[in-house]
A and B are shown apart, each in its own frame.
Chain A
Amino acid sequence: MTVEIPAEKWSGRVLEVTLGATPAEGGTRSRTVVVGGETTLPFLHFEGEIPHPPRVAIEIADHRPDDWSPLLLEAWGSVVGDPAAWARAAEEAGADLVLLQLSLTRDGGAPTTARDARAVTRAVLQATGLPILVFGPGQVDADNELLVAVAEEAVGERIVLGICEEKNYRTIVAAALAHGHLVNGRTAMDVNLAKQLNILISDMGLPLDRIIMDPTTAGLGYGIEYGYSVMERLRLAALQGDKMTQFPMLVTPGYEAWRQKEAKVGQGVPGSWGDWRERAILWETLTATSLIESGADIVVLRHPETVKRVKAFIGRLMEK
């Protein structure tokens, strides 16, 4: 009996987006990273092309993040609180990209200023040759102020500016346009909202190959299925030819997993949850693994062990 293998012929293709710029391209990165370009669903090499593997970004903070799980602080050790050293450690831990997360306030409680944001961005750019992403604290006013300064400081580096939302996309996109950067457009787990924001961003004239979309996700056990399905729907729409969904996707499983009690704490939890360290690594690793299988092109992670795990699994899914 000959079974006919059912292969889909998709008409659409995800756009290829290049992060970072080398000296020849006007930046200082030692290499660039390309994501996207898929012509089929995740890892279905038998029916389409997956020219680039999903990439791993390691999240580092601009100050010592005391609200992070002790397991994370312990894993990174002395580099926590020193963003340049942390960026180097992230590179050594196998990161493809470094994501610098700016905070609302500095140690001591004074608000983070544009000057602080510039300084830390510069320090990170000098410490690592990887392409970087810089995310604001997530409050519109602060994001606008800090990210505009960051964009200017990193002119020509093709960094990714986040978070670009419906509320502030004008400012962030303008900064990206002026200084040669990319944006990460975030919407709340909804296909139509994602499309709308992409339309607004592209209407401002930002070339399509400078847009990454972030459909928002959730941690294992805390609503991840919504994120998983929205990503599947967005990727299907892209493959079916819907232009405004054909952007690589970025999600933050590290942040989502480590917020949850399962990863964050070891005390005062049910015995049936098992060993804390094992559970924490599993929580982040599995959250990320499931999202890679639903279409993530960039996953932002926190723990070095997870990075190793997720990269190894991606490697196995990419060996043709």
Chain B
Amino acid sequence: MALTGLQIYKLLPQTNCKECGFPTCLAFAMKLAAKQAELAACPYVSEEAKAQLAAAAAPPIRLVTVEGPGHRVEVGNETVLFRHEKTFYHPCGLFVRVKDSDNVRAAAEAAMGYAVEYVGMSLFLDGVAVEAASGSATTFAGAVRAVREVTDRPLILMAENPEVLKAGVEADKGGRPLLYAATEENWQAVAALGKQTGAPVAVRASTLDGLAELTEKIKGAGVEDMVLDPGVRGPLESLTAFTQLRRLALKKNFRPLGYPLIAFPGEGAADGIEEAQLAVQHIAKYGGFIVLDRFTPALAYALLAWRTNIYTNPQEPIKVQPGVYEINSPKADSPVMVTTNFSITYFSVANEVDGSGLPGWLLVADAEGMSVLTAWAAGKFDAERIAKTVKTTGIEEKISHRKLIIPGHVAVLLGELEEELPGWEILVGPREAVDLPGFLKLWSPS
């Protein structure tokens, strides 16, 4: 937890020599507390004070990175319990588990080959968890190599036997996998493997007491990057444990449990839909890595969308640039539509027009990133703003007609718009974008 200026002052030399550029050590300490100065500016600060300050500045939940040769996932370093308090920063990693006893290559290829467009972003799953169900080091290493052939994303390697785990790490060429899991039984060997390879270590224990003891021992063995598995699987047990862990880290600054969490929703569920329900809970309530047992496109899409929603900064809606967007190579006689610059709104409309195959000009008004009705209710998508968009985007030079299609939800703007845009004919479009293709089929510029 951050130190106050006074606490920092106590750690400084207190000689007021001014070399840091501040008149007194106290003034410097205040600036440090406000993060407006760097400790390095004081040449006299002791090594011990440096260590203490660094420890205090460390985030309450450690940032843990896993990597494949072509993709990295960073989780942790969260600062709040509720997203409205600031935002959630590091989207949890969504992994799909394959077992080395099955056809891992095909399973990994299907999951890693998956991508879906959502509000202009291409969303995909983060990596593969390979489990040594066989118990054999050779089989496991073979499975890891097979997975590596089809993906360059990070891996989670799952084996209870440290020898088997080691074979897996060696097979993960170019990767920095998460090692799952160190337990009371095997922690020395797994910690040694983590230290030797630099890979983060997942730690599992069935009580929070046990978990805290274990992380301290593993830390003592030289491993800094850890991930916690409190061993619970059902919705109630995991909501309870994950909430307690997040609170311990953020509110108590309890270092032994200040690490990201890993969840296995499939182990607490009877089928895909129930697994997805649990995963929804884990995404919102504090999961860092989420290992799915089932992959289908529908399931992946829903969970990826939910993760994007939860990790959207509440202070800044996702926006697109205002302006003119050309869809399907529009010509002078193609229809002109207007919408707002809220990403979800823009893409709902743009995707429909695009999918219809019909050409069109889409004007995007600067509505401060709000949806049509929200912006209308807030006075950010009124006749004046729409008229301004028409005039400033230069659309008039690009087209031969003067017809503007407005969203059906703001049909009330019709009269005012006709006044603001003399010479234009205002057409009220359908309320929902789904119905736009049908509407556009009837378009004629004359």
Contacts and interface: CB of A to CB of B under 8 A. Distances in A.
Interface stretch (A79-87, A102-110, A173-181, A286-294): A286-294
B314 to A, nearest CB: 6
Contacts of B302: 220, 262, 279, 282-283, 286
Contacts of A265: 434
Contact of A225 (B83, B236, B299): B83
Please report whether the interface of chain A is mostly helix, strand, loop or mixed according to DSSP.
helix
Interface string A1-32: 11111100000000000000000000000000
24 contacts: A3-B209, A3-B254, A6-B244, A6-B247, A46-B240, A188-B374, A221-B305, A229-B83, A229-B84, A232-B83, A261-B348, A261-B434, A270-B117, A274-B297, A275-B298, A278-B299, A281-B273, A282-B276, A286-B276, A290-B280, A293-B239, A309-B273, A316-B234, A317-B236
Interface in A210-248: 220-226, 228-229, 232-233, 236
Interface residues on B, range: 35 or more
For the complex of A and B, 9 pairs with smallest distance between CB atoms = A274-B297, A274-B298, A279-B298, A272-B116, A221-B305, A225-B309, A6-B247, A229-B84, A3-B208
A5 B208 contact: yes
Interface in A262-320: 262, 264-265, 268, 270-275, 278-279, 281-283, 285-286, 289-290, 293-294, 309, 312-313, 316-319
B296 A3 contact: no
Given A220-B306, A309-B273, A309-B277, A3 B257 contact: yes
B310 interface: yes
A43 interface: yes
A223 B347 CA distance: 13
B301 A5 contact: no
Interface of B: 82-84, 114-118, 208-209, 212-213, 216, 234-236, 239-240, 243-244, 247-248, 251-252, 254, 256-257, 272-274, 276-277, 280-281, 284-285, 296-302, 305-306, 309-310, 312, 314, 344, 348, 355, 371, 374, 377, 432, 434
A2 B213 CA distance: 9
Contact of B309 (A221, A259, A264, A294): A221
A224 B285 CA distance: 15
Contacts of A5: 208, 244
Interface string A22-55: 0000000000000000000001111000000000
A207 B296 CA distance: 49
B209 A270 contact: no
Nearest to A233: B84
Contacts of B310: 225, 228
B235 A223 contact: no
A267 B384 CA distance: 38
Contacts of A221: 118, 305-306, 309, 344
A1 B309 contact: no
A286 B208 contact: no
A282 B299 contact: yes
A46 to B, nearest CB: 6
Contacts, number: 147
Contacts of A270: 116-117
Contacts of A319: 236
A312 B272 CA distance: 14
A281 B302 CA distance: 11
A174 B342 CA distance: 39
A222 B239 CA distance: 25
Nearest to A279: B298
A145 B302 CA distance: 40
B213 A1 contact: yes
A274 B235 contact: no
B60 to A, nearest CB: 13
A318 B348 CA distance: 38
A286 B114 CA distance: 21
B82 A236 contact: yes
Contact of A273 (B83, B240, B297): B297
Contacts of B274: 309, 312-313
Contacts of B212: 1, 3
Contact of A220 (B213, B248, B300, B309): B309
Nearest to B305: A221
A286 B276 CA distance: 7
Q: Which of A226, A270, A278, A286 has the most CB of B within 10 A?
A: A286
B299 to A, nearest CB: 7
B298 A273 contact: yes
B230 to A, nearest CB: 11
A138 to B, nearest CB: 13
Contacts of B301: 262, 272-274, 279
Q: Which of B114, B234, B297 has the most CB of A within 10 A?
A: B297
Contact of B82 (A224, A232, A264, A309): A232
Contacts of A224: 306, 309
A262 B344 CA distance: 14
